[in-house]
Every structure is written in structure tokens, then in C-alpha cells.
Amino acid sequence: MPTPQELKQRIEAAIPGASAEVESADNVHFSARVVSPEFAAKSRVQQHRMVYDVFDGQLGGDIHALQLRTEVP
């Protein structure tokens, strides 16, 4: 079962300069706030896609839901 710590590490490893805060009460539904300079000049759809891509194929599976907020520092 994925943990918030694992999601945080994977996001930070995949997106340059990213810092992530990830929470979950049940290790199935997650909530994440991700800050990265890479998000600059990208639409919200593009920003969220960058994070979704980190978990390709897992969303809707063992990661049932990932509530997401992306920000530029």
C-alpha cells in the first residue's frame, strides 16, 4: 500500500525543484500540495498532468484518489 512519504519522494524525485506535502488518512485517498518552479508558465491542466504522470497507471488503482494543489514558488 503506498504511503504519503512514498508519494512525496516520488513527486520530488520526478519533478525538478519540487517540494511536496502529502497527507492521507487511509493510504488510498491522498491529498498533495506540490510547489515547483517547473510549473511556471504552465496551465493548471499541464501542472496537474506532470504530477499525475508520476503515478501513471496507479491512479484509480491503489491510489484511489489524489487531491492536488500545484503552486509556483
Partner 1 sequence: MSETQIREAIQEAIRDNEVVVFMKGTPQQPMCGFSARTVATLQEMQTPFAAVDVLPDPRIRQELSGLSGWPTIPQLFVKGELVGGCDIIVEMYESGELAQTLGVDAPQDAPDQAPEAAPSAAPMLQPENRL
Residues interacting with partner 1, by CB under 8 A?
29, 44-45, 48-49, 52, 56, 59-61, 64-69
Nearer to partner 1, 8 or 47 (CB): 47
DSSP H or E segment with residue 45: helix 44-54
* Cell numbers placing 22: 502529502
CB 46 within 8 A of CB 53: no
Residue 45 Cβ vs partner 1, minimum distance, rounded to whole Å: 5
Residue 29 Cβ vs partner 1, minimum distance, rounded to whole Å: 8
Which amino acid is it at 53?
A: D
Nearer to partner 1, 8 or 34 (CB): 34
